[in-house]
Amino acid sequence: AEPVRLKDYKAPDYLIDAVDLDVKLHATATRIVSRLSIRPNPHGRRDAALVLDGDGLNARRITLDGEAIDLDKALLSPDQLTLAAPPQRPFALEIETEIDPSANTRLMGLYRSGSAYCTQCEPEGFRRITYFLDRPDVLSVYTVRIEADRSEAPLLLSNGNLIEAGDLEGGKRHYAVWRDPFPKPSYLFALVGGDLGSVHDEFITKSGRKVALGIHVEHGKEPHAAYAMDALKRSMAWDETAFGREYDLDVFNIVAVSDFNMGAMENKGLNIFNDKYVLASPATATDADYAHIEAVIAHEYFHNWTGNRITCRDWFQLCLKEGLTVFRDHEFSSDMRSRAVHRIADVRALRAAQFPEDAGPLAHNVRPETYHEINNFYTATIYEKGAEVIRMLKVLIGEAAFARGMNLYFDRYDGTAATIEDFISCFAEAANRDLTAFSRWYHQSGTPLVEANGAYDAAARTFTLEFRQFSKPTPGQDHKEPFVIPIALGLVGRDGDLPLKVGAQNGASALEISRAVFELSAPSRKITFLDVPSRPVPSLLRGFSAPVRLDYPASEADLITLIAHDSDSFNRWQAAQTYASRLLLRSVANIRAGGEARHDQGFIDALGVVLNKSSDPAYTAQMITLPSEADIARDMGEDVDPDAIHAARDALRQAIGKSLAAGLLSAYARHAENGPYSPDAEAAGRRALRNAALDLYCAGEPVEGARLAARQFEAADTMTNEIAALGALAQRAGSLREGALDTFYRRHAAEALVIDKWFALQAMIPETDTLERIQKLMRHAAFSLQNPNRVRSLIGAFATGNQTRFNAPDGSGYDFVAGVVLDLDQKNPQVAARLLAAFKSWRSLEAKRRGLAEAALRRIAAEGALSADVKDIVERSLG
């Protein structure tokens, strides 16, 4: 099939001003009557055919202004309804469809999760409910009447405000009518029917309007929704103060379901969530889970302005709402928690998920120009890199201009379907600056490499920094224009930051220096600092001011200086990571040459100092956590041998654990629980450090460590401490581990979200019999290929979290995942395609594994009946 292309965009020929839906819920035969108020678009083509999208539909009846249309004459197929010559004036089209929600295993359109009915329409699910102009630039006002058996679905929800409800057939059945006054695209439509437990609260907006809040969960889980409700209220208040955005309807509902393809969905006034991002209690959710709930609740809520009030003209503009909304939720979480720690976590996540995407065959622009299957573009590039681009924009133009640009965007584009160009133009205007070159971040894929060099001239007391940027070719892009890269920097001396002073001949503007943000907008650029009393250590890319790879030949002594003295907390952490990564890369080379891992007491001692100072436990936990195996593989870039990486990392962990055993034990003891449970950042930080210390201690002192972990496992009354202890115990094969896994299962068998953790932990054991264990777990009564969370926890965790076993030298990991992808593709193509994307770094592997991974991909490609989703990923992966 031909791809969809951005350059082919045309305004719709018809508009749909109003949609009246009448939905009679039934497990296998739900009836939908859709009444559409259609008119020709003055900006469209006159006399064009009206082509409505469908996906597996069957129309039972169609009328135009009340007159029945002969179904044979309306060019009707499961995927399309065409009126060859529709009236060139406003008219009403009524379509009746019947669908089977129970048979919907793709979880797109109307489907069932447990006994509840729910919908997912983004991006193209509405066409699985009724024929429609299913594109985001067609905005309509929806009125939705839902009817159902009261016993099956006492709760009936849709977007907007409830305007009517009542009984039918003496109370056996009932109905509800919802009306959403805000015109919206079909992808934001939602409907829920079910028997759920509800938690209610209210929020008073800054202008004094009262909003009824509801969170609807499985019966019995109501207390587990308290944190989500709290996060929702904090999100609503924060958007008013941070962005001046107030909520606009009388109600805001959140429904949690257990079968969901992704995290959550921002449907207007009716967010539908994967229950993983709603339900939390200290005994079932980790601190990381709490943080994710807070972030996802905020993210979906913030979409009300960035996504819903201002939506996307077409799906190429997806980052317009996603990048911006991720940027907003990062800012929110940073304000709620520690900004420094949050930045480190965000950058770790960006590097783990987005950098490999940008470095491999699936690389694409933040604003793509073509796609075969839009579902495959809900990626780390669109979301996380999209957010980084906005963050850079703020660094470049400054906070005040950024705020003016945001307000301009909200004022000018409210109620419209906008583009990236619209968005950028607001900031160009607010900052009075040409942003054409900056916009290349949207149009060029790949992670730029910045090479920096510094030279100190003792006689002249000057320090010169020279920067060069390089961009490798990416799919479809052989040559790239230079990026505009903001490099926040400082010079660190023995007593901390030195004042920055430059001469006029430098070319660096006074503004750049006063803000300490150097703009690398050419292939190379130099800057000379004056009055530098002694050789400084440059601290570059502070706060990770741009999503690039930075290469600066700092000496080990320089890195130790930065770890100890850099005023930028991100770069103190980065210096420790850089040091570790360097060590590990050398060890990997040694191991592959038949030698041993490298030791470096200087590095270990530096970590020891950090550990003993530890005034900020959450930050210290980040400092002592080594780069992951995937991080090291990424730093290598090519000829990757995951076994050598694992051995090198393991050896360093052992060396740290042995050498710092006393310090780790004392940090462990100092950060014991000291009061009633709180999920806040301070308490979570203490647990994070305690558990990071336990992990390293176990690596260095396996016998003593296992004893300590077992004690923590027995005594734990929080999931954070329980799963950390289980993870530590899982490091060593044997009856202690197997016993603990059994105990854990028995303790939590009733909590699906906790059992997900049990599956994931086992999937990540780096031992040769793990694949066998997984195959056995797939036959476990609690496993199901139907439930996306389960698939992600067992198979997804294996493919992305178990580097050595997924990349087993005999290819068994690849074959296994490929087999699951093919099975799953029959049921849920979206989740199958997502799983297949785990192969995205196959080209960077050493030759033997590369050959085996390619063979597995080729076997998939050779299958006859692939979904569009899987076909697209496999073809691009091999392309």
Interface contacts to ligand B3K, rule CB under 6 A: 122-123, 262, 264-266, 299-300, 303, 322, 375, 378
| Residue closer to ligand B3K, measured from CB, 303 or 849 | 303
* Closest separation in Å from C-beta 817 to ligand B3K: 21
Residue 378 near which of ligand B3K, Zn ion, none (CB within 5-8 Å, type-dependent): ligand B3K
| Residue closer to ligand B3K, measured from CB, 471 or 789 | 789
Residue 123 near which of Zn ion, ligand B3K, none (CB within 5-8 Å, type-dependent): ligand B3K
d(CA 648, CA 583): 9
Distances in Å between the Cα of 433 and the Cα atoms of 297, 386, 549 are 35, 21, 27
| Residue closer to ligand B3K, measured from CB, 123 or 269 | 123
| Residue closer to ligand B3K, measured from CB, 376 or 807 | 376
Helix (H) or strand (E) holding 24: strand 14-24
- 10 Å CB burial of residue 9 (0-12, 13-18, 19+) is middle
| Residue closer to ligand B3K, measured from CB, 128 or 303 | 303
Query: Across-strand partners of 118?
Result: 111
Q: Which of residues 296-355 bind Zn ion (CB under 5 A)?
A: 322, 325
Residue 510's φ and ψ, nearest 5 degrees, are -55, -35
| Residue closer to ligand B3K, measured from CB, 264 or 341 | 264
d(CA 140, CA 34): 13
Residue 467 near which of ligand B3K, Zn ion, none (CB within 5-8 Å, type-dependent): none
* Closest separation in Å from C-beta 273 to Zn ion: 12
Q: 């395609």: which residue's tokens?
A: 833
Paired tokens of 142 = 């929806």
Q: Are strands 161-168 and 173-184 parallel, antiparallel or unpaired?
A: antiparallel
57: Cβ contacts below 8 Å, ≥ 6 apart? 78, 79, 97, 99, 127, 128, 130, 131
| Residue closer to Zn ion, measured from CB, 378 or 463 | 378
| Residue closer to Zn ion, measured from CB, 381 or 721 | 381
* Closest separation in Å from C-beta 58 to Zn ion: 32
* Closest separation in Å from C-beta 869 to ligand B3K: 10
Helix (H) or strand (E) holding 349: helix 339-349
Computed on alpha carbons and rounded to an integer, the radius of gyration of the chain in Å comes to: 28
**Is residue 300 annotated as part of the catalytic site, yes or no?**
yes
Paired tokens of 25 = 């819920």
d(CA 646, CA 632): 9
| Residue closer to ligand B3K, measured from CB, 296 or 527 | 296
> 281: closest CA among 840, 764, 754?
754
* Closest separation in Å from C-beta 94 to ligand B3K: 29
* Closest separation in Å from C-beta 259 to Zn ion: 19
Given a contact cutoff of 8 angstroms between Cβ atoms, the answer to whether 183 and 204 are in contact is: no
d(CA 498, CA 539): 11
Question: Which ranges in 701-734 belong to alpha helices (H)?
Answer: 702-715, 719-729
d(CA 681, CA 668): 18
> 452: closest CA among 527, 513, 505?
527
Helix (H) or strand (E) holding 148: strand 140-149
Q: What is the distance of C-alpha 618 from the center of its chain?
A: 22
* Closest separation in Å from C-beta 326 to Zn ion: 7
Residue 365 near which of Zn ion, ligand B3K, none (CB within 5-8 Å, type-dependent): none
* Closest separation in Å from C-beta 321 to ligand B3K: 7
Residue 277 near which of ligand B3K, Zn ion, none (CB within 5-8 Å, type-dependent): none
Residue 265 near which of ligand B3K, Zn ion, none (CB within 5-8 Å, type-dependent): ligand B3K
Which residue lies nearest ligand B3K, judged by its C-beta?
Answer: 122
| Residue closer to ligand B3K, measured from CB, 156 or 291 | 291
d(CA 439, CA 731): 46
Distances in Å between the Cα of 605 and the Cα atoms of 539, 566, 602, 655, 663 are 21, 18, 5, 11, 11
Write down the catalytic residue from 124, 218, 300, 846: 300
> 291: closest CA among 681, 688, 625, 725?
681
Torsional class of 122: left (φ above 0), alpha (ψ -120 to 50), beta (otherwise): beta
* Closest separation in Å from C-beta 290 to ligand B3K: 19
Residue 375 near which of Zn ion, ligand B3K, none (CB within 5-8 Å, type-dependent): ligand B3K
Residue 796 near which of Zn ion, ligand B3K, none (CB within 5-8 Å, type-dependent): none
* Closest separation in Å from C-beta 420 to Zn ion: 16
**DSSP labels, 819-840:** HHHHHHHTT-HHHHHHHHGGGG
Residue 262 near which of ligand B3K, Zn ion, none (CB within 5-8 Å, type-dependent): ligand B3K
| Residue closer to Zn ion, measured from CB, 347 or 382 | 382
Q: Which of residues 615-674 bind Zn ion (CB under 5 A)?
A: none
Residue 122 near which of Zn ion, ligand B3K, none (CB within 5-8 Å, type-dependent): ligand B3K
Interface with Zn ion: number of residues (CB under 5 A) = 2
Q: What is the distance of C-alpha 465 from the center of its chain?
A: 35
| Residue closer to ligand B3K, measured from CB, 274 or 721 | 274
d(CA 346, CA 238): 20
Paired tokens of 493 = 């001396």
* Closest separation in Å from C-beta 376 to ligand B3K: 9
Can you tell me whether residue 462 is helix, strand or coil?
A: strand
Residue 267 near which of ligand B3K, Zn ion, none (CB within 5-8 Å, type-dependent): none
d(CA 254, CA 237): 17
d(CA 83, CA 94): 13
Residue 115's φ and ψ, nearest 5 degrees, are -95, -5
Given a contact cutoff of 8 angstroms between Cβ atoms, the answer to whether 765 and 728 are in contact is: no
First to last CA, the chain: 16
Helix (H) or strand (E) holding 309: none
Residue 106 near which of ligand B3K, Zn ion, none (CB within 5-8 Å, type-dependent): none
d(CA 481, CA 469): 10
Can you tell me whether residue 524 is helix, strand or coil?
A: strand
* Closest separation in Å from C-beta 322 to Zn ion: 5
Binding positions for Zn ion, rule: CB under 5 A: 322, 325
Catalytic site positions: 300
